[in-house]
Amino acid sequence: MRRLGRELGVEAMSLYNHVPNKEALLDGMVEVLLAEMEVSVDGKEGWEERVREVFRSFRRLAHAHPDVFVLFAVRPPTTSKVVWLLPAFLDALRGAGWEMRTSLRAFRALSSYTIGYALVEVRGSVPEPARDRTGILGAAEEERIFEMVPILNGADRDAEFEFGLDLIFTGLRAELERG
Amino acid sequence: MRRLGRELGVEAMSLYNHVPNKEALLDGMVEVLLAEMEVSVDGKEGWEERVREVFRSFRRLAHAHPDVFVLFAVRPPTTSKVVWLLPAFLDALRGAGWEMRTSLRAFRALSSYTIGYALVEVRGSVPEPARDRTGILGAAEEERIFEMVPILNGADRDAEFEFGLDLIFTGLRAELERG
DNA sequence: ACCTGAACACCGTTCAAGT
DNA sequence: ACCTGAACACCGTTCAAGT
């Protein structure tokens, strides 16, 4: 609050004339973040490609404002979180022909995946492990870890994210066929 | 630090004889959390059921220590995060016959989903939306939101989580068949 | 080797007093 | 209606001084 006050050329206490407290300020930032989400879905054919586009936009939001995105992920749910994300999803879903419970489960799966993926991404890459640090593991397992960390860090994130979406959509299509 | 000191019957500054700073303390807590993860996989037949069990354990960890789990999700990656989770996964995967890149992508998909799902779960349920709050939406969309929030909150979390795992595993099995 | 007092540079928030 | 000074009850951290 004090720093924000300084930035605005005002004392910290003045802020309380405009905002109830710091928490409200943080939630407001998240709200602004979500309002910024732009989903351009109109050109897309078919529910699958439209839904993909919603979650791609969501991930782009995390890249654009990583710190606020962490707030989004961590702070308790608010109405605005639901109000921004859910209609965008349901809108993209038109034509899929699911009942509501299935739609909501699909939403939970896709949003959980996207939140988790973007969060891991935003935190940065895994540090090179120190040799002594891994003493808990057997020698073979230790070797495996050393081999994997660079591959983990060197991955093409966009392709990797799409791969995860592919998995989930394969599951959803199968679900749809079963009725 | 001051509160922890009090809890230990000692002044806050004394802690700096044992720990470099607060950050290190938080990372240590995450490390203890991960060390606590118990995966009982030995009885399970087949890689799929074993891998499922790994991520179920992970989610159970979030329920047991929600605050530390949030730290896990938010703090930068450390060696110990990889060292605990990845070997457990790779171990469960034996017999699936994938190359490393595919294994790592499967790991990313499943861990992202589980982190995201557990995080949303841990934050608590969505508040009942206020009627005036949703003025941004059209009337029909507003009605849809009002209808959905109770369903969203009332869901059977265990079943919902498993449903998401189902989707991803369906995708992985398809991937496996294609080679 | 470990603990402490004093000190520094911070926080968020309240409230009476000002314009 | 909005801003401010003073004040309260906090933070994490350093460092010289103690045992």
A154 domain residue, yes or no: no
pLDDT > 70: percent of chain A: 97
- Residue linked to tokens 């499922």: B52
Give pLDDT tens digits for B38-94: 888 777 889 999 999 999 999 999 999 999 999 999 999 998 898 889 999 999 998
Cα separation, B28 vs B19, whole angstroms = 10
User: Is the pLDDT at A68 greater than 80, yes or no?
Assistant: yes
Average pLDDT over residues A90-118: 94
Q: Among A134-143, B34-43, B87-96, which is the least confidently predicted range?
A: A134-143
**What does the pLDDT read at residue B95?**
86
Higher-scoring residue by pLDDT: A22, A44: A22
User: Is the pLDDT at B178 greater than 80, yes or no?
Assistant: yes
Cα separation, B74 vs A71, whole angstroms = 9
> Is the minimum distance from the CB of B19 to strand C below 7 Å?
no
**Rounded to the nearest 10 degrees, what angle do helices A66-74 and A100-123 cross at?**
130
B7 domain residue, yes or no: yes
Give pLDDT tens digits for B78-87: 988 988 899 9
B20 domain residue, yes or no: yes
Count A/B contacts: CB-CB distance under 8 Å.
201
Q: Using CB atoms within 10 A of its CB, is residue B156 exposed (0-12), middle (13-18) or buried (19+)? A: exposed
B171 domain residue, yes or no: no
pLDDT-based confidence at residue B7 (cuts at 50, 70, 90) = very high
B165 domain residue, yes or no: no
Q: Which nucleotides of C are covered by protein (CB under 7 A)?
A: 2-6, 10-15
Q: Which residues lie below 8 Å from residue B178, measured CB to CB, with a gap of 6+?
A: none
Domain count, chain A: 1
**Yes or no, beta carbons of A168 and B167 under 8 Å apart:** yes
User: Is the pLDDT at B135 greater than 70, yes or no?
Assistant: no
A179 domain residue, yes or no: no
- Residue linked to tokens 């009337």: B139
pLDDT-based confidence at residue B133 (cuts at 50, 70, 90) = low
Tokens representing A136 are 């808990």
A15/C17 CA-to-C1' distance in Å: 18
Average pLDDT over residues A141-165: 93
**Yes or no, beta carbons of B108 and A133 under 8 Å apart:** no
pTM, to two decimals: 0.95
B85 domain residue, yes or no: yes
> Is the minimum distance from the CB of B94 to strand D below 7 Å?
no
Whose C1' is closest to the CA of A14: which nucleotide?
A: D3
A20/D4 CA-to-C1' distance in Å: 18
**What does the pLDDT read at residue B108?**
97
Q: Could you say which of A109, A130, A148 has the minimum Cβ distance to residue B163? A: A109
Q: Which residues lie below 8 Å from residue B129, measured CB to CB, with a gap of 6+?
A: A79, A82, A83, B145, B146, B149
A177 domain residue, yes or no: no
Cα separation, A169 vs B174, whole angstroms = 11
User: Is the pLDDT at B136 greater than 80, yes or no?
Assistant: no
- Output the domain CATH number for residue A33: 1.10.357.10
Q: Which domain holds residue A52?
A: 2-127
State which residue of chain B sits closest to A110, comparing Cα positions. Answer: B113
Average pLDDT over residues A135-144: 78
**Yes or no, beta carbons of A76 and B136 under 8 Å apart:** no
User: Is the pLDDT at A137 greater than 70, yes or no?
Assistant: yes
Which residue's CA lies closest to nucleotide D2 at its C1' atom?
A: A17
